Structure 1
Amino acid sequence: MPQFAANLSMMFTEEPFLRRFGAAAEAGFRAVEYLFPYEHTSDEISSALQQHGLTQALFNAPPGRWEDGERGIASLPDRDAEFDQGLETALEYARALNCRQVHVMAGIADSADPAARQRYVERIRRAAQTAQAHGVRILIEPINPVDMPGYFLSSVGMGRQILDEIDHSNVGLQLDLYHAQITDGDLSRLIASTAPVTSHIQIAGVPDRHEPDLGEVNYAYLFERIDSAGYTGWIGCEYRPAAATAEGLDWFRPYRAQQGRSGQ
């Protein structure tokens, strides 16, 4: 049975960030994720998690100058010190929030540039080594070029190649099925073929990134395929509600009573 994490960067935005934890718990979610926690102290977020009995499933390491259009720095030149400092900050939050997985964004860079690829592989490998000592797994996520033009890691196929090059047991694939439908397709076979390296799954309706029961993807069927593939981690609901969040949760109601604690 799939176990869902509400993405608080996109869902329950009718409330201020720290109140979204309670809204998610009231709706029946037992875990949360979001893009970045850094505008709030780890104590504030930890208190919200504990108060509402929620698990922190995932968040992203600092992405560089987000307001200037940066989307990660792992593949960018001359950012080693900033990358290492950002990872340290992310691991501090991960420890405080008992979060076992952190996504490190690649950045906007030419995917055909060998130097960018080498930087990315070396930095993710180094991050994996550092994070392993803290019991935290590093994730990489392919992001489609429609939503994020120029993003270095733009397909699941490329992600598999990069994982082979990194060659470290503490790096996993963040398989966002919304992005994957746009870039790779054939989702049923993709879920099965990537199962050995998939550490986190995310969902949204395609093409508008609304609720998973809207659009061209049959998620009810894919949830069965995810179970069949042996995946037991959280499924992050990284979608933009078409209206108020609570109004779009009909898709979730069949699963609500069976939400529990993921073992991953």
Structure 2
Amino acid sequence: MDTARFAVNCSILFTELPLLERPAAARAAGFAAVEFWWPFDTHLPGDAEVDAFERAIRDAGVQLIGLNFAAGDMPGGDRGLVSWPQRSLEFRDNIAVTLGIGERLGCRGFNAPYGNRIEGVSPQDQDDLAAENLALAATAAGSFGGVVLVEPVSGADRYPLRTAADAVAVIERVERDSGVTSLGLLADLYHLTVNGDDVTTAISAYADRIAHVQLADAPGRNEPGTGKIPVGQHLAELAAAGYAGWIALEYKPAGRTAESFDWIR
């Protein structure tokens, strides 16, 4: 199995194991890199929790290549704090924690889930706040070569970034307003497809903006080959467009996790 290009998202794969055992499981399955959604129950975890997480990565002998900022209660429907006025301070407090973990572990990609639209707050006010918060996070990440990722997401009706163009517009606004350039597009083939975006066109149009790629098949969000997304075609298009970064596996295994990697052959 050639796993050299692929990283395992340990927040959605190997869920049959405790979270801190998953990096070692990914290594045992032949992968050298992992990524995580925010792995703690609070935006400000204690030192012992952070140390245990970092130790699990190091002891497994894998590279952490992606980490989400705190995003609220994801199972409960939250999709980020970046544009959420009542919780903006939580995001700002979380920046140093997230980037500290990343800097110590050599991680350079940090996904900042944008957040749902909030009743009683105008979209413009939310977008203004998001631009400020993304600029703060990207400035801090850029100080050690990190990149803040902006992602279109499906399955959340109140989440405003649906297409690659939506996310790139946010990135361009932050660059225009603040001069910060350490931001990039997270191109998730599953989310883009489910939202009706033309993935081939998006890859061609925004190749210079794509800083990270994730994949799953649709419908179902399972591994490639279980749905209708031409994953092989899109990976070839990304390569032809010059993308040479990691491809993160962010899917729910249709069966056992170990068997869900057979498609890579």
* Post-superposition offset of 1:53: 2.3
* Post-superposition offset of 1:116: 1.2
Q: Which moved more, 1:205-214 or 1:107-116?
A: 107-116
* Post-superposition offset of 1:87: 0.9
Q: Could you tell me the TM-score, scaled by structure 2's length?
A: 0.87
Q: Which moved more, 1:147-156 or 1:231-240?
A: 147-156
Which structure is richer in relative contact order (CA contacts within 8 A, separation 6 or more)? 1
Counterpart CA distance in 2 for 1:65 and 1:215 is 28
Answer yes or no: is 1:139 the counterpart of 2:149. Answer: yes
* Post-superposition offset of 1:89: 1.4
Counterpart CA distance in 2 for 1:137 and 1:126 is 12
2:28 corresponding residue in structure 1: 26
Counterpart CA distance in 2 for 1:80 and 1:183 is 27
The answer to whether the 8 A contact 1:157-1:184 is kept is no
Superposed CA RMSD: 2.1
Q: What's the secondary structure of 1:41's corresponding residue?
A: helix
* Post-superposition offset of 1:66: 4.2
Answer yes or no: is 1:203 the counterpart of 2:209. Answer: no
* Post-superposition offset of 1:112: 7.4
Counterpart CA distance in 2 for 1:45 and 1:249 is 25
Counterpart CA distance in 2 for 1:186 and 1:66 is 27
Could you tell me which amino acid in structure 1 is paired with residue 54 of structure 2?
Answer: S
Between the two proteins, the alignment pairs up a number of residues equal to 251
Structure 2: where are the runs of 5+ without partners? 42-47
Which of 23, 46, 50 is residue 58 of structure 2 equivalent to?
Answer: 50
Answer yes or no: is 1:242 the counterpart of 2:262. Answer: no
Q: Could you tell me the TM-score, scaled by structure 1's length?
A: 0.88
Instruction: Note closer, same or farther for the CA distance 1:162–1:112 as it changes in structure 2 (3 Å cut).
Output: farther
Counterpart CA distance in 1 for 2:9 and 2:143 is 27
Which of 69, 85, 99 is residue 93 of structure 2 equivalent to?
Answer: 85
Q: What's the secondary structure of 2:85's corresponding residue?
A: coil
Structure 1: where are the runs of 5+ without partners? 255-264
